[in-house]
Amino acid sequence: MSIFTIEGSVEASQGAGDRDPAGSNGWPDARSISSEMMNFLFEERTCSARDLQRMLRDRHPNRSQMLADMFAMGCLLHFQGERSAASMLIGQVFESVRGDGEPEYLSALLNGISGNELRLACEIAPSTELRELCDRARQGPAREAACAR
């Protein structure tokens, strides 16, 4: 079920404060979503790890999961502020696919890591253990401390 539709939602914009008529879910009415927000919601992001995942599967079918895990770990280390270790891991993954004719994509992905680390780590489809680390990192330090006990 869709909360809103694309058709007519931008033209019928009434302002950001409008809510659904019943006020039951607290979400803005579809007519109140600005064109900038609609573009953000539906644009194809340059900073996405999905193409990297495809490149890894195509070029390294037997090692794609290991390389995806390396990229995810690099993103997690970057999120934690370990830039040098993150650069080493991510650089090794990029070296494995260099030559696929995608230098602009890899450059854009590298430039877009900051602030997107956890999303990118999950987009690459890492192993379950690394996905769980991403989930814990999203929940913050209190959750990390509880898991360490």
Across 132-147, average pLDDT: 76
Higher pLDDT, residue 19 or 81: 81
40 pLDDT above the threshold of 90: no
Q: 37 is written with which tokens?
A: 């927000």
Across 5-18, average pLDDT: 37
Q: Which residues of 91-126 are buried (b: 16+ CB within 10 A; e: fewer)?
A: eebbebbeeeebeebbeebeebbeebbbbbbbbbbb
34 pLDDT above the threshold of 60: no
Mean pLDDT score across all residues of the chain: 75
Tell me what pLDDT residue 16 has. Answer: 42
Higher pLDDT, residue 140 or 21: 140
Q: Cα-Cα-Cα-Cα dihedral of 115, 41, 67, 94, to 10°? A: -70
CA distance 135 to 52: 21
Tell me what pLDDT residue 46 has. Answer: 55
